[in-house]
């Protein structure tokens, strides 16, 4: 029996807290050529902060199943706080899937990504946040 894929509209609004390892997402990728050789595709230092923003958006799209992802000002400021080259290795964020109030919106839901200050990332796991 085939499983039915549910859309975000059927799931409704939800809020989760995640830790994203930006270091492994920004280091580059290993590519194999058609000759069987391994080539490393490194990202330049000048692209680290913009690439971090793109990776957070991509992570939020995959996890929350929405194409419209909005970053909070505090999260953007924290990513750019040490300049374009030295981005933080890990980031603790809250992803909130909310209903879109615009009448002309393409999607019913959007995701808001906001920053959570965290002293240590040891033992911190993903959790669902209950909204009060």
Dump pLDDT digits (tens) for 64-96: 999 999 999 999 999 999 999 999 999 999 999
Average pLDDT over residues 15-25: 92
Residue 81: φ, ψ to 5°: -65, -35
- The mean of the pLDDT values for the chain is 86
Q: Please state the pTM of the whole predicted model.
A: 0.82
Residue-level pLDDT at 121: 87
The domain spans of the chain are: 8-124
Residue 87 confidence (pLDDT):
93
∠ CA 50-56-61, rounded to 5°: 130
Whether the predicted pLDDT of 16 surpasses 90: yes
Instruction: Give the mean model confidence (pLDDT) for residues 33-37.
Output: 72
Q: What pLDDT shows up at residue 2?
A: 56
Looking at residue 113, what is its pLDDT?
97
CATH homologous superfamily for the domain 8-124: Ribosomal protein L31 (3.10.440.10)
What pLDDT, on a 0 to 100 scale, did the predictor assign at position 28?
A: 73
């Amino acid at each position: 029996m085939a499983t039915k894929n549910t859309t975000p509209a059927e799931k409704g609004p939800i809020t989760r807290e995640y830790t994203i390892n930006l270091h492994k997402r920004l280091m580059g990728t290993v590519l194999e050529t058609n000759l069987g050789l391994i080539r490393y595709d490194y990202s330049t230092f000048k692209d680290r902060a913009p690439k971090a923003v793109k990776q957070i958006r991509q992570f939020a799209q995959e996890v929350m199943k929405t194409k419209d992802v909005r970053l909070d000002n505090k999260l953007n400021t924290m990513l750019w706080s040490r300049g374009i080259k030295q981005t933080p290795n890990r980031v603790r964020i809250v992803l909130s899937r909310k209903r879109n109030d615009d009448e002309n919106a393409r999607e019913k839901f959007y995701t808001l990504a906001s920053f959570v200050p965290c002293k240590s990332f040891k033992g911190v796991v993903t959790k669902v946040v209950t909204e009060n």
